Amino acid sequence: MQITEKVIELEPLAVRRGTAAKMLDCSPTTIHKLMKAGKLRTVKVGADDRILIDSIRALVASA
């Protein structure tokens, strides 16, 4: 009997400010400004904010 493993790759639903900055090729300060302006939606994870991937996509699509 052969056992095979199925590997499932999960795409993150939300990322940290630094990761979002890398994705958009901008500074974390710019990400913070976009968050404050309501252009990037966040969710609280513990004590930290995470930027929702869907809001990053929406920002790029609206450009």
**Residue 3 clears pLDDT 90, i.e. is over it:** no
- What's the whole-model pTM score? 0.81
Q: Give the pLDDT confidence score for residue 56 in this predicted structure.
A: 98
pLDDT computed for residue 1 by the predictor: 67
For residue 2, pLDDT beyond 90 = no
What CA–CA distances, in Å, run from 55 to 2, 3, 6, 17, 22? 43, 40, 30, 13, 15
* Cα(37)–Cα(18) distance, integer angstroms: 18
The model's pLDDT over 11-47, given as tens digits with 9 standing for 90+, comes to 999 999 999 999 999 999 999 999 999 999 999 999 9
